[in-house]
């Protein structure tokens, strides 16, 4: 497979967040993230937990370079993000960062194969269709290549989204409540697949979730509460209640 990426240095953090604050303009300024600091190293699976409205998705967007912080520093894949414009941040994300969202984010007018091939084609990669086909086979959808999103179940759509995320061979994958739109049984199958893929591809995972049992599958975690970030450890009693 061709790639323009430079080899990553596994001895250095793939993601560093230093004193990041995010304030939005309202009649009175509202601080959503308060001086967050954390480091993620290559190959780790890290959970980001907390109640709805705590600031998890806002922090994820900042870490992934989808938005810029009001204050603080973020270094992603060795690149400082805080002084880059949108084009610069997009260049950092290209080929290095994958995303999986609760709402799948598939393009309705493209079939499964075209959805998965699209990021490769946009990056000018060779063999986009063959690589997309291989990725769909890997997630068990080799017989669904020509199906449109509306012809797929929710679980199948999320598997297409996983194939699209991993086909670019990202250094880090940001997953924001990836099972939030799925029933329990389907969600468990999708999560099992996500963890198998990330181990197979040696991909760093940042997983936003409300589910303590799911978070406990990660190597470690952080909790966001009222915009403040702290280390998180699973509660054994809560995990027993979830089984």
Query: What is the rounded CA–CA span in Å between residue 23 and residue 48?
Result: 20
The pLDDT value given to residue 238: 54
What CA–CA distance (Å, rounded) separates 145 from 2? 23
What is the pLDDT at residue 234? 80
CA 15 vs. chain centroid, Å, equals: 13
Biggest alpha carbon distance in the chain? 54
CA torsion 63→65→71→73, rounded to 10°?
Answer: 70
Single out the residue of 172, 161, 175 nearest to residue 215, CA to CA.
175
Of 146, 149, 169, residue with least CA distance to 159: 149
Task: Write down the pTM of the prediction.
Answer: 0.89
Q: What is the mean pLDDT of each run of 10 residues along the chain (243 residues)?
A: 55 95 88 96 96 92 94 94 91 91 94 97 93 98 97 96 96 94 92 96 94 92 95 72 50
- pLDDT reported for residue 1: 42
Instruction: For residue 130, count other CB atoms closer than 10 A to its CB.
Output: 12
> What pLDDT, on the 0 to 100 scale, is given for residue 25?
85
């Amino acid at each position: 497979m061709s790639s323009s990426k430079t080899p990553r240095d596994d001895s250095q953090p793939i993601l560093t967040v230093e004193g990041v604050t995010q304030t939005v303009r309202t009649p009175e300024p509202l601080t959503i993230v308060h001086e967050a600091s954390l480091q993620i190293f290559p190959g780790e699976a890290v959970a980001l937990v907390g109640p709805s409205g705590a600031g998890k998705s806002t922090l994820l967007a900042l870490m992934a370079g989808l938005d810029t912080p009001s204050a603080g520093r973020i270094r992603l894949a060795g690149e400082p993000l805080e002084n880059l414009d949108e084009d610069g941040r997009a260049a950092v994300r290209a080929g290095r960062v994958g995303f999986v969202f609760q709402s799948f984010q598939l393009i309705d007018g493209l079939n499964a194969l075209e959805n998965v091939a699209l990021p490769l084609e946009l990056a000018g990669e060779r063999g986009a269709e063959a690589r997309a086909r291989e990725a769909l086979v890997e997630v068990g959808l080799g017989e669904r290549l020509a199906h449109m999103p509306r012809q797929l179940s929710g679980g199948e759509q999320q598997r297409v989204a996983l194939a699209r995320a991993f086909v670019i061979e990202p250094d880090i994958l940001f997953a924001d409540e990836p099972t939030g739109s799925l029933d329990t049984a389907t969600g468990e199958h999708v999560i099992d697949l996500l963890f198998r893929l990330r181990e197979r591809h040696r991909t760093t995972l940042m997983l936003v979730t409300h589910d303590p049992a799911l978070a406990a599958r990660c190597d470690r975690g952080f909790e966001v509460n009222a915009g403040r970030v702290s280390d998180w450890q699973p509660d054994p009693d809560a995990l027993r209640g979830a089984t």
